[in-house]
């Protein structure tokens, strides 16, 4: 049980350290998808 708890804390630490590496590509992807949606409606 102690090993599982240590693994859980290590995973949380990795997420805390690398959250920006996930956030920025997701923000870029969301922007591209939003632009494609607006383009499909004929705004551009």
What phi, psi does 43 have (nearest 5°)?
A: -80, -20
DSSP output for 1-44: -HHHHHHHHHHHHHHHHHHHHHHHHHHHHHHHHHHHHHHHHT--
Position 30 scores a pLDDT of 97
Judge whether residue 40 has pLDDT over 70.
yes
Model confidence over 11-37: pLDDT tens digits?
888 888 888 888 899 999 999 999 999
Cβ atoms of 44 and 38 within 8 Å: the answer is: yes
Distance CA 42, CA 38 (A): 7
């Amino acid at each position: 049980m102690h090993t599982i708890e240590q693994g859980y804390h290590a995973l949380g630490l990795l997420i805390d350290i690398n959250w920006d590496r996930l956030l920025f590509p997701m923000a870029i992807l969301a922007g591209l998808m939003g632009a494609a949606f607006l383009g499909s409606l004929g705004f551009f």
